[in-house]
Amino acid sequence: MSEHPIIAALRRESFEPLGWFAPTAADGAPGGCRFMVLIGNAGPLLFRRFGRERQVGETLDQWTERVVTPLAATLGARAGFPFAAPPLPFLSWARAAGAGHVSPLGLNIHARFGLWHAFRAVLFFPVALDLPPPGAGAHPCEACPGRPCLSACPVAAFSPAGYDVAACVDHIASAAGQLCMTGGCLARRACPVGRAFTYEPEQMQFHMRAFLKARQEAP
C-alpha cells in the first residue's frame, strides 16, 4: 500500500510524522483546524539536515520555524511550534495522536523510536486527511524488566517523586558529569526501546549543552 502523499512529503524533508488525529473542541486546536499532524525528529536524520543548513548563530528552534513554516504552507496547513508562547499542549496532543506514552523519566516514549524522538512542530489542516488512526501500541515500560532508566542516573535525579532538575544540572555542570555531557543522558541511554534510533554523539552533545545553558540562565 502506498504512503499517503503528505506523510511521504514530510519524510522526504527529514521530518517524521509521529502521530495525527482529528481534534475535538476539548483539544484546544486553533479555529478552522480539522486535522493535526505532529512532526519531529526520530533518530539522527533531521539533525544531520540541520547541521548542513544551519545559518551562523541559528538555533534549532529558529531553523525549525524557518523550514517548517513554508513546508506547512506547501502542504495546505499552518504550523505551530512547541517553543511558542503561550505554550501549546503538545503532550496532550501526543496522547490524542497515538504518538506514545509517558515514560518513568517523564519523557514521551514511542513504541518504535523509544526516547530518541522529539516533537518539533504541529501542522494544522483545514480539512480532514484520509489517514487511519495511529495506535500508540502497548506501553513498553509496563513490561520492561527492572526499568533500568530509573537506576542509571549517577545522582538519582529520577524517582517516583519526580525529576530533580537541580541535582541533574549540578552533576552535568561538574567534572564528574562529563560522561553525560559528552555521551548523552545515561538514564535515557539505559532504555532498551528504539536503540536503533539513538542520537549520534554530536546531536547528544548539542542537546546536553542546550539543556545546561537553558537551566543555568533560567531565573
Q: What is the enclosing helix (H) or strand (E) of 159? A: strand 158-159
CB atoms within 10 A of CB 59: 12
**91-107, pLDDT tens digit by residue?**
999 999 999 999 999 99
CB 171 within 8 A of CB 180: yes
**49-77, pLDDT tens digit by residue?**
999 999 999 999 999 999 999 999 999 99
Q: How confident is the model at residue 134 (pLDDT cuts 50, 70, 90)?
A: confident
CB 36 within 8 A of CB 94: no
Model confidence at 1: pLDDT above 80: no
Model confidence at 2: pLDDT above 80: no
> Among 13, 141, 39, which residue's Cα sits nearest to residue 94?
39
Model confidence at 219: pLDDT above 80: no
Q: How confident is the model at residue 86 (pLDDT cuts 50, 70, 90)?
A: very high
User: Domain-by-domain residue ranges, the chain?
Assistant: 5-125, 148-217
CB 30 within 8 A of CB 77: no
Question: Mean pLDDT over residues 9-25, rounded?
Answer: 96
Model confidence at 84: pLDDT above 70: yes
Question: Mean pLDDT over residues 131-160, rounded?
Answer: 91
Which three three-digit cell numbers place residue 62? 529558529
Q: Minimum mean pLDDT among 55-64, 136-145, 192-201: which range?
A: 136-145
